[in-house]
């Protein structure tokens, strides 16, 4: 005995799904933007400035005052990858009135997928109202030429 599919049942189920979840140009645009953003593995050459802007933005959006950003080393090739893929370590010095603001800054920075990695945080109370400290940040990017 062979089972015969009834095409009208499949069409009915498809119509039910389309009615429940109608296609949307806005959804398509959002998905395409998310996909385009995910293609960016690590920034190229001049776009290293984007990383600095992200650090500044993370401090400002969390009520942390950026005191100084210092580059601690020249670009170093990433182990296991083509020599075009490099990292540079920066030290970020900051001040804030609350430790929760500092934590918020780190969360914001670490949400930047595959671009920044923060570690070695230290801070101390300078006065009743001020905490000051620093954090080391690896910034990942790639160059135009092989070293």
* The predicted structure's pLDDT at residue 147: 45
User: CA torsion sign, 56 to 58 to 62 to 64?
Assistant: negative
CA–CA distance, 119 with 137 (Å, rounded to integer): 6
Predicted structure pTM score: 0.63
Domains and CATH numbers, the chain: 7-39 (no CATH), 45-142 (3.30.70.60)
Q: At what angle do helices 99-110 and 48-60 cross, to 10 degrees?
A: 150
Mean pLDDT of the chain: 81
118: which residues sit within 8 A by CB, 6+ positions away? Answer: 106, 109, 110, 135, 136, 137, 138
Task: Name residue, tokens 């920075």.
Answer: 109
Stronger pLDDT, 108 or 147, i.e. the higher one: 108
* pLDDT tens-digit map of 19-71: 887 777 888 788 778 766 654 544 545 556 777 888 899 999 999 999 999 88
Q: Where are any strands of DSSP class E within the chain?
A: 64-71, 76-77, 85-96, 116-125, 131-142
* pLDDT tens-digit map of 109-127: 888 766 788 889 999 999 9
């Amino acid at each position: 005995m062979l089972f015969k599919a009834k095409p009208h049942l499949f069409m009915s189920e498809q119509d039910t799904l389309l009615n429940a979840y109608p296609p949307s140009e806005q959804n398509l645009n959002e998905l395409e933007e998310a996909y385009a953003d995910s293609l960016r593995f690590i920034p190229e050459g001049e776009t290293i400035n984007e990383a600095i802007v992200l650090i500044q933005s993370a401090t400002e959006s969390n009520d942390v005052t950026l005191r100084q950003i210092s580059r601690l080393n020249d670009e170093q090739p990433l182990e296991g990858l083509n020599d075009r893929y490099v990292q540079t370590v920066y030290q970020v010095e900051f001040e804030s009135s609350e430790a929760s603001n500092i934590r918020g800054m780190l969360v914001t920075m670490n949400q930047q997928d595959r671009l920044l990695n923060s570690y070695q945080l230290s801070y101390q109370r300078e006065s009743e109202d001020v905490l000051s400290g620093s954090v080391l940040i690896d910034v990942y990017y790639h160059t135009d030429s092989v070293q």
